[in-house]
Amino acid sequence: MPELPEVETARRGLASHLTGQTIADVVIRNASLRWPIPNNLPELLRGLTIRSLNRRAKYLLMDCGNCTLILHLGMSGSLRILPVDTPAEKHDHFDLILSNGTLMRLRDPRRFGAVLWHNGDGHAHPLLAGLGPEPLEKNFDARYLYAATRKRKVSIKQCIMESRIVVGVGNIYANEAFFRAGIKPQLAAGKLSLPRCEKLVAAIRATLNEAIKQGGSTLRDFVNSAGQPGYFQQHYWVYGRNGDSCRRCGSPIKQIRQGQRSSFYCGICQK
């Protein structure tokens, strides 16, 4: 599933191809995504100039002046820039045709993605308006996390996965960040001290930034290749390593369930 680093990598890769371009047309082959693609999208977007491509959580926001095209990659979506005459394949549900002879194509086999239109600034869309801070921005800091988790009995891992606390950390990167911070995922959120909040915030940032940096090397695949774009395969500390030896201390990695998600941790390195 594309997580925040993959979406941010896609944004960086796509932005230079889209910014300043005029939308010549829109092709909807299958409108049945997570929510239906509005069927009047061609009339709404034709002739508009793309001002910028931004990201909020895992949503891409294409600023078209007075309106915003909101995109979400769901479980299996990918976006590519291709020559306008490239034949569409089975799961290519949506094209944005640009006046420079290219198109931006959404491929989404599982169709959990979304293409939505918002009249105005996309940040005000109901799906986005109630979201918590971005993990890589300054307002997500130790003091904020400390204040947001006081009196919470739920585990700190489950708190981090709540989008009103912080957006887009994702299960894989959360597991890795908890290992990096030396914090047990099942610790009650309200018991995390301010210095440990500091460690956790730093670990979340470092984990996500590392993945984004790694994505930079596969950027071209996201934008131009004819094949499937690869999501980042990483050398995980704990994620998916139940029973394997901890890369730091050698003791076996444990797996537990927390709110329908798997958590992996080292009982020695994480307290």
From the candidates 11, 55, 56, 58, which is the catalytic residue?
58
248 contacts Zn ion (rule: CB under 5 A): yes
The sheet carrying 114-118 orders its strands as 52-56, 59-63, 68-72, 114-118
Shortest distance, CB of residue 135 to Zn ion, whole angstroms? 24
Helix ranges, 77-141 (H): 126-129
Q: Is 2 a catalytic residue?
A: yes
Q: For residues 162 and 152, is the Cβ–Cβ distance under 8 A? A: no
- 69-106 exposure pattern, b = at least 16 Cβ within 10 A, e = fewer: bbbbbbebbbbbbbeeeeeeeebbbbbbbbeeebbbbb
Q: Is 56 a catalytic residue?
A: no
**Enclosing H/E stretch for 254:** strand 253-258
183 contacts Zn ion (rule: CB under 5 A): no
From the candidates 34, 205, 254, 261, which is the catalytic residue?
261
> Can you tell me which of 113, 249, 259, 261 binds Zn ion, judged by CB under 5 A?
249
Cβ nearer to Zn ion, comparing 217 with 251: 251
CB atoms within 10 A of CB 8: 21
245 contacts Zn ion (rule: CB under 5 A): no
How many residues line the site for Zn ion (CB under 5 A)? 6
| Contact string 190-229 vs Zn ion (x = CB under 5 A) | ----------------------------------------
Shortest distance, CB of residue 109 to Zn ion, whole angstroms? 37
Rounded Cα gap, residues 186 and 189, in angstroms: 8
Q: Is 109 a catalytic residue?
A: no
> Can you tell me which of 158, 246, 263, 264 binds Zn ion, judged by CB under 5 A?
246
Rounded Cα gap, residues 38 and 168, in angstroms: 26
Give the residue closest to Zn ion by C-beta: 246
Q: Is 29 a catalytic residue?
A: no
Tell the residue number behind the tokens 């500091």, with chain if given. Answer: 198
Residue type, 74: G
**Pairing of β 78-83 and β 68-72:** unpaired
Shortest distance, CB of residue 249 to Zn ion, whole angstroms? 3
Stretch that binds Zn ion, among 27-35, 164-172, 226-234, 238-246 (CB under 5 A): 238-246
User: What is the chain's Cα-based Rg?
Assistant: 20
Binding site for Zn ion (CB under 5 A): 246, 248-249, 266, 268-269
Could you list the active site residues? Answer: 2-3, 58, 261
